[in-house]
Amino acid sequence: MKNAIKVVVLALTVLSFGGLSFAQSKPATPSTPSADKKETTSTKSKNSRITGEITSLDAKSGMLAVKGKDKEVNLTAESKSAKGALEKLKVGDMVTVSYSEKDGKMVANSVKANKSTASKSKPMDKQSDMDKKPATK
């Protein structure tokens, strides 16, 4: 009789430890996707760069849209330096913007005016004004 009780106790002990091992593997599964979320967060914060023309600009709210060669990107400037740079720009200026994606929106980290293309566009505007004057006479 004592041997039968020992066998039953041993069987219950083995089964209880087996149940604990299953209980541990379930919480390990949700922690694995959270590790994946950390990896995707780091890829989202990857810096990107676009060079193009400003198509819309609101310096007060820090919003701007830049049209590059193949795409147009809507950006938000959150840092003081990026907002300060927006105050010196206007629609039509050529810029290079370094940005990253945060919480589903594109955030401009730095905004730099391309002086070489901006200075070239200003003489063209003056030249087009000169062309218009003789046409009105």
d(CA 52, CA 81): 20
pLDDT category of residue 14 using cuts at 50, 70 and 90: confident
For residues 31 and 54, membership in a common domain is answered with: no
Nearest CA to 98 out of 134, 50, 40, 38 is that of: 50
The pLDDT score that the predictor gives to residue 104 is: 85
136: in domain:
no
Of all residues in the chain, what percent carry a pLDDT higher than 70? 63
For residues 69 and 83, membership in a common domain is answered with: yes
Structural tokens at position 9: 């106790």
pLDDT category of residue 74 using cuts at 50, 70 and 90: very high
Nearest CA to 40 out of 99, 97, 102 is that of: 102
The pLDDT score that the predictor gives to residue 23 is: 52
**Residue 21 belongs to domain spanning:** 1-44
Pairing of strands 72-77, 105-113: parallel
The CATH number of whichever domain residue 67 belongs to comes to 2.40.50.320
For residues 57 and 110, membership in a common domain is answered with: yes
Instruction: Report the 10 Å Cβ neighbour count for 66.
Output: 26
Question: What value does the mean pLDDT take over residues 72-93?
Answer: 89
- The pTM score is 0.51
124: in domain:
no
The pLDDT score that the predictor gives to residue 133 is: 55
pLDDT category of residue 51 using cuts at 50, 70 and 90: very high
For residues 57 and 13, membership in a common domain is answered with: no
Whether residue 69 contacts residue 78, with contact meaning beta carbons closer than 8 Å, is answered with no
What is the number of domains present in the chain? 2
For residues 55 and 111, membership in a common domain is answered with: yes
The pLDDT score that the predictor gives to residue 52 is: 93
Question: What value does the mean pLDDT take over residues 105-116?
Answer: 84
The two counts, helices (H) then strands (E), for the chain are: 3, 5
135: in domain:
no
